[in-house]
Amino acid sequence: MLFKQQALLRQKLFVLGSLAIGSLLYLVARVGSLDRLQPLCPIDGRFGPRSQDEIPLRALQFKRGLLHEFRKGNATKEQIRLHNLVQQLPKAIIIGVRKGGTRALLEMLNLHPAVVKASQEIHFFDNDENYAKGIEWYRKKMPFSYPHQITIEKSPAYFITEEVPERIYKMNSSIKLLIIVREPTTRAISDYTQVLEGKERKNKTYYKFEKLAIDPNTCEVNTKYKAVRTSIYTKHLERWLKYFPIEQFHIVDGDRLITEPLPELQLVEKFLNLPPRISQYNLYFNVTRGFYCLRFNIVFNKCLAGSKGRIHPEVDTSVITKLRKFFHPFNQKFYQITGRTFNWP
């Protein structure tokens, strides 16, 4: 009888001991797990930088989903305060050019965890009515971001509007300015194609490109046609250089951004003093669309709108030759000023 009682006692002690050891091992594992997960909690305190060169990229990647919710207008003032969100004036602006690839550039730069984009063109500096509303109105049009991110907006009309350089200079004389250009004749035809499509949607007739680009009285290039004027890049850039040094501009090759985007984006990262984070993983070629699409993570992919990559109408080859000859001296001067040469015919 005594032997059975001792055996039962040893069995109970064994069970209790096993439970105690199991609990201890669970606590050790739990503490280790919490320690590994620690960066997900006090992000601001642990990763908060002292300068732009120390942008908390891991923290920003974690918070990207939260920012998406705030952009949809679902955030309360208390949530905004708790997450330390702000609406910042842009530290960089894509000022042009129209039909050069401004939307593609903005969307691709948004792949970087330290960049936040304004979704819509603000048209603050080129629109007198908007500009009269003041800088705070402009700030309120910016997306919510974290203090160590940089906000970028794009409004390609800025590049060709005379008042804009001085207005931007008054806001921030050290702002970084991005210009994306394509071969001038191709850009002009693309400009025409977009307008033509708009006319066709409204069942309106429109002149052929040749009739607009060439003055019928002189048979010379019609510099009064806006699509032609916009492609004279050096004329517009010279106006900007009255206010900003050339070092504050970065020229992006819009033709190369279509065929080989990563090297162009890496140059922009360097210009903006951002640590390199955009990689080939973020860009994949969509055979159906014929363009590169964007991969933010394993779940979220994005392609540009279907309006991108419109098929251009056939243009008389003699008109194309005349336009290219016309643009050539302006292109040479543009190369000289910017220090970047393109293989434009």
Q: Would the annotation count 307 as a binding residue?
A: no
Does the residue 17 lie in any domain?
Answer: no
pLDDT band at residue 15 under the 50/70/90 scheme:
very low
Cα(253)–Cα(67) distance, integer angstroms? 30
Q: What is the pLDDT of residue 36?
A: 32
Does the residue 61 lie in any domain?
Answer: no
Does the residue 56 lie in any domain?
Answer: no
Q: Report the half-sphere exposure of 53 (CA within 13 A, side-chain side).
A: 0
Q: Is 99 a catalytic residue?
A: yes
Which range marks the domain in which residue 214 is found?
A: 83-338
Q: Would the annotation count 308 as a binding residue?
A: yes
Q: Which residue has the tokens 């009739």?
A: 211
Does the residue 181 lie in any domain?
Answer: yes
Cα(275)–Cα(39) distance, integer angstroms? 20
Neighbours of 268 (CB within 10 A): 24
Does the residue 68 lie in any domain?
Answer: no
Does the residue 295 lie in any domain?
Answer: yes
CATH number of domain containing 275: 3.40.50.300
Q: Would the annotation count 91 as a binding residue?
A: no
Q: What is the pLDDT of residues 174-206, one digit of tens each?
A: 999 999 999 999 999 999 999 999 888 888 888
Does the residue 14 lie in any domain?
Answer: no
Q: Would the annotation count 169 as a binding residue?
A: no
Q: What is the pLDDT of residues 150-172, one digit of tens each?
A: 999 999 999 999 999 999 999 99
Average pLDDT over residues 9-16: 52
User: What mean pLDDT, rounded, does the chain reach?
Assistant: 83
Count the domains in the chain: 1
- Nearest to 196, CA basis, from 175, 210, 184, 183: 210
Q: Which residue has the tokens 């940089």?
A: 150
Does the residue 178 lie in any domain?
Answer: yes
Q: What is the pLDDT of residue 80?
A: 62
- Nearest to 153, CA basis, from 128, 132, 172: 172
| Interhelix angle 184-201/317-338, nearest 10 degrees | 120
Tell me if 153 sits within 8 A of 171, measured CB to CB: no
Tell me if 153 sits within 8 A of 107, measured CB to CB: no
Longest dimension (CA), the chain: 125
Candidates 99, 117, 154, 176; catalytic one: 99
Q: Would the annotation count 103 as a binding residue?
A: yes
